[in-house]
Chain A
Amino acid sequence: MNDIPQQLVNGLTNGSLYALIAVGYTVVYGIVQLINFAHGEVFMIGAFGALSTWFLLFRDNTSVWVLPVMIAGAIAASVATAVIMERIAYRPLRHAPRLAPLITAIGISVFLQEFVRLFYGTIPGFPSAKSKIPFPAIDGVTGSPFHLGSVVIQRPALFTMGALLVCGLFLGWFINKTKQGRAMQAVSQDPDTARLMGIDVDRIIVIAFALGAALAAIAGVAQGLQNNNIDFKMGFMAGLKAFTAAVLGGIGNIQGAVVGGLTLGVAEALATVFVTGAWKDVFAFGLLILVLVFRPQGLLGARVVDRA
């Protein structure tokens, strides 16, 4: 049992990752009541965007100043994917029956995975994505871990938690202080009235997709640094977990996504201690089902989901 503090750190790390991705589900859901299944793939594209930036610009250079550029590349790739996805696939279906956008989302998800798997390697100089691709180990954010008593803290873990902190602060500022952010709140409360007040709802929806994608891209980079490799399947499980986190916190509620992500991460880590690591994913999904039974509005509570 003495590895509980260690597991807590691991849990917070994973939880930060879930939280970063979960924000994307929650922001989009809050505004268009759409579960963007393909969000996990946006996260995956982010990781690949970062890797591509590195291959194109800095091959073999691992100094720390490379990282911000990689993150920028990741955000660019993810945001572009999410915006195109919204424009081409989701917008025409906004008033379609509920089943249609869900099926579309699955289609996009499968398509993006396969697209990366089949065509990433065909770009000259890029490795094939059919198996795992090593992710560059950036100086400073990877390397020898810190020791805090008996607890080992990996450097990428610090990066992940730091990223969540920065992104959380940014989100808080963006949502509450900027014009766009407040427009987002207005649309999520009442799209029709918001439109009457002169808010361009279509634009706000695009911003919501882009915002979620940017955070997912950062999570993608963090995941790459943590695991030292990325692959085309990484978005599936991460997306599912992040969705669980979003539901746990109360989908539609941004603070909820962060709290839900951290809670899920810690809960999984504790499951590893008390049960066994092999059942950790089963435990997470079991938790999802329990939350849906006993507290469908989530831990922090959001508007109770009321769409048949």
Chain B
Amino acid sequence: MSTTVDRADGANSPDSSAPAPAPRATGKGVPLAYAGSGLMTASALMSWCYDPDVLGDLTLYGNPAPVQLTMLVLGLLGLVLAMSAKGPLRRLGAGLDTSRGAFRLGLGAVAYMALTLAAITAQAGGLVNADPGAWVALVGSLVLVVAGRLGVSRPSRNIGAMRAKGWVEILVLVALVAIALLLVADGLTLRDPWAFVLLLLGVGAAAAGLAGANAFTWLGVTASYHSRVLTLAAFVAAFAFPLTQNGSDANMSIATQVIIFSATALGLNIVVGLAGLLDLGYIAFLGAGAYVGAILSGSAFATIDWQPPFLVTVIIGALFSALLGLIIGSPTLRVSGDYLAIVTLAFGEIFRLAMFNLDGNNGPKITNGPNGIPAIPELNFFGFDFGVTHHLFGIPITRFSNYYLLLLCVIALIIVIFSNLNNSRIGRGWVAIREDEKAADAMGVNVFGLKLLAFAGGAFLAGLAGTIKAHHDVSVTPDQYQFLESAFLLAAVVLGGMGTVGGVLLGAVVLKLLPEKLRFFSEYRLLIFGLLLVLMMRFRPEGLVASKRRKLEFHEDDEHLADKVQTIHLEEKTS
């Protein structure tokens, strides 16, 4: 691509943050980039710390510990960027914004090293304990930042149009999924909070570098070409996860909680993300399902002495939730959207208070009030007892793994519903309502009916997940379903990216995993989530993983983006 084309592109998007492309001056940055990433790579093979007890053993030469391996990966990534700027990978470089990528990768690596040095200072008692390797890594990262700064940023290069052979693309996607699985399995085993944060930061640095280089644009386009392969690979990885745990429950119990949370967040995503209805009482629908599940479970404390087969219970629980959704939704969906938020919030409180009061003193005895319904028996599916450990190819599948696998099926169901709806007449109706209700109405979209469908449908899915959650949690109490949980779910949806599946899953996993792994974090988690909601709305309202359409809604003036979205839609139509 020649400079003139770059300039033309730049002129098309005057308000994109790109600096005006100057005449070629990459030369200065490239040697520095080689040097910086070379130093980073080499540092991983050196000793970082005098004290062998810090962050695993960092004292050895030529034998990198996990913390150093992360730096090795970052360094190699830097080398790849440098090589594609000028070197053997030039063809790859034609589509990459190597300078910006190097700059961001470098910044991430600097942050990584700063935290590593902080950990060494805190744990080994002083910065003197840091060995040359750590300093080499820091210097290398700084050099990479400078290199990125000196190079010319070319944000307009269209890497999305670059296509490799089909099988190569699929291989890349599958490899990425496998890496993600390994990272999660590995990250969960880290007991040291410093090491865990460092791993996160390392992944963040790599992601920042790749995003800076526009590699994610390519990934996004490729993933949408091979979306089935990707989904399948992700599910295989998720199903394989319990097998990597070797019968240990420590991580599976966290994973199961994460997955319950993700399933609920995905349900909320249909309501908030697709239809644009802000539902602040979503947790109450989960609770309604859980209570139905508990009451019909045959627990000794259940107030109704009827235990239907679990499939019937699931359907009753889901329908009951959907019915509640209809009762709340039908009056409020007629008025303004702002009201819906408050009424659902009030409904959430009504639900909690009602569960509190239906204790036999203040009302009929249905829920045992604040004590809830304990001792819910394990699920039993056609003789398959979820409470005991089963064996698959000799690998133990524990109680938590059983629930995990079942919930994974629920998530799969929700994703199938979601993606089918998203591309259907109903989904387009929702988007139209979300963007402009009056215009949608004028175009003949059944506004009220579709809103009610989204609301009740979301409630249905939450109720479904709730019935399983009741069995998993063993007991159901009103306090599990308070407003903060709804806010927490909303935070996951907003953080990840409203209206996307991948984003919401990412958001849910991050938000649920962090407090579990970091004790220090759990005290401040709500503070941070509150702040996160405000900051996200201010600076990146479309979320970490943005759906293109959604992004455009939040950045209406960005004509460059509008053109892009239009091209993608046309491509979808013609292909």
A interface list, Cβ under 8 A from B: 35, 37, 89, 92-93, 96-104, 106-115, 118, 236-237, 240, 243-244, 247, 276, 278-279, 281-282, 285-286, 288-289, 292-293, 296, 305-308
Known: A118-B524, A243-B342, A305-B335. A100 touches B537 (CB 8 A): yes
**Nearest CB in chain B to that of A286: its residue:** B350
Docked pose: A54 CA to B202 CA in angstroms: 48
Known: A100-B537, A104-B537, A282-B353. A118 touches B527 (CB 8 A): yes
Residue among A104, A108, A289 making CB contact with B328, cutoff 8 Å: A289
Known: A103-B490, A285-B347. A308 touches B336 (CB 8 A): yes
Q: Check B347–A104 contact: CB distance below 8 A.
A: no
Known: A279-B363, A308-B437. A285 touches B349 (CB 8 A): yes
List chain A residues, Cβ under 8 A from B491. Answer: 107
Q: Check B534–A289 contact: CB distance below 8 A.
A: no
**Nearest CB in chain B to that of A114: its residue:** B527
Q: Check B338–A100 contact: CB distance below 8 A.
A: no
Q: Check A104–B349 contact: CB distance below 8 A.
A: no
List chain B residues, Cβ under 8 A from A244. Answer: 346
Q: Check A99–B437 contact: CB distance below 8 A.
A: no
Q: Check B335–A107 contact: CB distance below 8 A.
A: no
Q: Check A281–B353 contact: CB distance below 8 A.
A: yes
Residue among B328, B338, B534, B554 making CB contact with A307, cutoff 8 Å: B338
Q: Check A104–B337 contact: CB distance below 8 A.
A: no
Docked pose: A111 CA to B436 CA in angstroms: 31
Q: Check A99–B276 contact: CB distance below 8 A.
A: yes
B46 in the interface (beta carbon within 8 A): no
List chain B residues, Cβ under 8 A from A96. Answer: 537, 541, 554
Q: Check A288–B343 contact: CB distance below 8 A.
A: yes
Contact bitstring B502-541, A, C-beta under 8 A = 1, else 0: 0000000000000000000001101101111110111001
Q: Check A307–B538 contact: CB distance below 8 A.
A: no
List chain A residues, Cβ under 8 A from B339. Answer: 247, 292, 296, 305
Docked pose: A89 CA to B536 CA in angstroms: 11
Q: Check A108–B541 contact: CB distance below 8 A.
A: no
Q: Check A110–B362 contact: CB distance below 8 A.
A: no
Docked pose: A98 CA to B339 CA in angstroms: 12
Of A101, A110, A244, A305, the most chain B CB neighbours within 10 A belong to A110
**Nearest CB in chain A to that of B534: its residue:** A107
Docked pose: A236 CA to B483 CA in angstroms: 10
B357 in the interface (beta carbon within 8 A): yes
Contact bitstring B479-510, A, C-beta under 8 A = 1, else 0: 00001100100110010001000000000000
Q: Check A289–B494 contact: CB distance below 8 A.
A: no
Q: Check B529–A110 contact: CB distance below 8 A.
A: yes
**Nearest CB in chain A to that of B339: its residue:** A292
Docked pose: A249 CA to B379 CA in angstroms: 50
Docked pose: A199 CA to B226 CA in angstroms: 56
Q: Check B332–A289 contact: CB distance below 8 A.
A: yes
